[in-house]
């Protein structure tokens, strides 16, 4: 029997467990695979058992690691060094270790420092998630998502192939990346958006007018601030382990915000024209991203509904403007006749 141990039963860990157990059932391999779960939170352990994300849980991390063939570390980054120390002490020879952390350079460094040569580490980061924890666990969470893979220098070929197999059976698409490149990229597309969301919520909710203003907040505010509901601890750890990349992208974002602010404050026709150009450039870049295809006819990102709404909105706008012009023309002709 193959044993997979998942350390950390939040959204990602529980979703991996659900995906593994479903795959084993579909392949008729239920008796050949055991999924063991460990989490320091009693509620997470109980919920993981209730939703059948694991075959069993244990209160002892050492027991969970014993006899594990594959160990998935799905904890916040700050817990990884302690988990790696436990793996070094209790995991069997030849065990394969992977993780799901949002930063990779620090995790690869900890693996090099703390894991013995008798285990094989292959870093990973599934580019999928929700603002929920285990209550949002879903066997299909990773379907179609990119899963970054960053093997350690001493990882065996078998270990890399095992992690690639895990990624593919969960429906994700593996992509190899250098750890530092990964950290720079996710700082821009994931970590800074969270910080912008936090900044907007703090700015608006801290204003004296918020008590009345909040009743007017609708779709734009909801969509822009959704990320602020993410795990404070997780994002604290992300900022601690990816500070340089985050600061660099924050500086670039602040420079762009300052440029927009200056154009708005100027208010001249020239400044407003340049402001509109920036808006158009951002719109076009966003549309180009939204229409990327993974393969012909299949969008890379889940934007089909958004694009459909955009197309419908443009069509309605054309109908409205066309109707308005049609109503204007007779009036204009009447005015010309009076002249």
Instruction: Tell me the mean pLDDT in the region 282-286.
Output: 94
pLDDT value for 119:
97
Please give the model's pTM, rounded to 2 decimal places: 0.83
Residues pairing with 37 in the sheet:
6, 57
The fold for domain 179-258 equals 6-phosphogluconate dehydrogenase C-terminal fold (1.10.3660)
CA distance 180 to 172: 22
pLDDT tier at 336, thresholds 50, 70, 90: very low
Q: How large is the average pLDDT for residues 246-265?
A: 98
pLDDT of residue 319: 46
Residue 222's Cβ-count burial label (10 Å; 0-12, 13-18, 19+) is: exposed
Tell me if domain 2-177 and domain 179-258 are identical in fold.
no
Alpha-carbon span 123 to 104, nearest angstrom: 7
- Span 3-28, pLDDT tens digits: 999 999 999 999 999 999 999 999 88
What does the pLDDT look like over 91-111, one tens digit per residue?
999 999 999 999 999 999 999
Mean pLDDT of 302-331: 53
CA–chain centroid gap for 214, Å, is: 27
DSSP conformation letters of 231-262: -HHHHHHHHHHSHHHHHHHHHHHHHHHHHHHH
Give the confidence band of 69 by pLDDT, cuts at 50, 70, 90: very high
CATH of 2-177, one of 3.40.50.720, 3.40.50.300, 3.20.20.60, 1.10.760.10: 3.40.50.720
User: How much is the mean pLDDT over the chain?
Assistant: 90
Domain regions of the chain by residue span: 2-177, 179-258, 267-299, 303-339
Structure tokens, 212: 């009345």
């Amino acid at each position: 029997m193959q044993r997979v141990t998942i350390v950390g039963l939040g959204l990602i860990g529980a979703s991996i467990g659900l995906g593994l157990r479903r795959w084993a059932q579909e392949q008729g391999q239920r008796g050949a695979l055991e999924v063991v779960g460990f989490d320091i939170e009693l509620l997470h352990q109980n919920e993981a058992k209730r939703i059948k994300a694991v075959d069993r849980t244990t209160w002892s991390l050492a027991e969970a690691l014993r006899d594990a063939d594959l160990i998935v570390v799905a904890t916040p980054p700050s817990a990884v060094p302690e988990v790696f120390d436990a793996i070094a002490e209790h995991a069997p020879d030849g065990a394969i270790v992977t993780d799901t952390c949002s930063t990779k350079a620090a995790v690869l460094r900890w693996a090099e420092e703390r894991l013995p040569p008798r285990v094989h580490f292959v870093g990973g980061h599934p580019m999928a998630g929700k603002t929920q924890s285990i209550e949002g666990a879903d066997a299909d969470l990773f379907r179609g998502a990119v899963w970054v893979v960053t093997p350690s220098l001493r990882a065996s070929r078998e270990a890399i192939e095992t992690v690639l197999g895990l990624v593919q059976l969960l429906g994700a698409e593996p992509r190899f990346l250098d750890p530092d490149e990964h950290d720079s990229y996710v700082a821009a597309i994931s970590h800074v958006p969270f910080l912008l969301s936090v900044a907007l919520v703090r700015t608006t909710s801290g204003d004296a007018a918020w008590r009345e203003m909040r009743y007017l907040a609708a779709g734009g505010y909801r969509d822009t601030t959704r990320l602020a509901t993410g795990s404070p601890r997780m994002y604290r750890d992300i900022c601690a382990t990816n500070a340089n990349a985050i600061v660099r992208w924050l500086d670039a974002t602040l420079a762009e915000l300052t440029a927009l602010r200056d154009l708005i404050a100027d208010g001249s026709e020239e400044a407003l024209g340049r402001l509109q150009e920036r808006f158009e450039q951002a719109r076009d870049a966003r549309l180009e991203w939204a229409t990327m295809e993974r393969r012909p006819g299949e969008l890379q990102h889940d934007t089909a509904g958004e694009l459909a709404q955009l197309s419908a909105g443009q069509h309605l706008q054309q109908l409205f403007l066309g109707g308005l012009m049609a109503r204007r023309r007779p009036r204009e002709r009447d005015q010309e006749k009076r002249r």
